[in-house]
């Protein structure tokens, strides 16, 4: 079993709230489960991040994967979590060094080919990250 985490930001009105994304890869039927009140766009992230990872030349784990977004009670809206979700999974799979993620907030949507797409609400997200001492 491998565990890693990354950080992103949820928008709550005009304020940003830090969201921890934990990735667990372990034994069980292969698949990806998202937990922590994802909306429809975030639930579609499964397909976007899988395609982006594979089309970037990385391997996709063939094990059971769970991505948990905390705090679980906070609704998560939009595709701005894609980068953090993908990088947390890659860190849990030991493709990315997990220690390089400490103190870093990741924001952005992934295109199917792995390109980074812009998202709305970057200013409140950056301000929330800075208030928390993140980069």
Residue 133 lies in a domain: no
Residue 54: CB atoms within 10 A of its CB come to 14
pLDDT of residue 34: 93
Residue 24, pLDDT > 70, answer: yes
| Local structure of 128: helix, strand or coil | helix
Residue 79 lies in a domain: yes
Residue 135 lies in a domain: no
**pLDDT tens digit sequence for 87-114:** 999 999 999 999 999 999 999 999 999 9
Could you tell me if 107 and 130 are in contact, meaning their C-beta atoms sit under 8 angstroms apart? no
Residue 18 lies in a domain: yes
Which region holds residue 112: left if phi is over 0, alpha if psi is between -120 and 50, else beta?
Answer: alpha
Residue 134 lies in a domain: no
State the total domains in the chain: 1
Range(s) of the domain holding residue 107: 2-128
Residue 25 lies in a domain: yes
Residue 35 lies in a domain: yes
pLDDT of residue 75: 86
- pTM to 2 decimal places: 0.94
CATH number of the domain that 75 lies in? 3.30.230.10
Residue 91 lies in a domain: yes
């Amino acid at each position: 079993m491998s565990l890693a985490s990354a950080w992103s930001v949820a928008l709550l009105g005009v304020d940003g709230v830090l969201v921890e994304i934990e990735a667990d890869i372990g034994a069980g039927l292969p698949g990806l489960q998202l937990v922590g009140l994802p909306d429809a766009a975030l639930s579609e992230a499964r397909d976007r991040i899988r395609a982006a990872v594979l089309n970037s030349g990385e391997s996709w784990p063939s094990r059971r994967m769970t991505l948990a977004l905390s705090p679980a009670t906070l609704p998560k809206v939009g595709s701005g979590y894609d980068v953090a979700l993908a990088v947390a999974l890659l860190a849990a799979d030991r493709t990315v060094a997990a220690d390089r993620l400490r103190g870093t907030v990741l924001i952005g949507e992934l295109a199917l080919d792995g390109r980074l797409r812009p998202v709305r609400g970057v200013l409140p997200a950056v301000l929330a990250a800075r208030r928390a001492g993140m980069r």
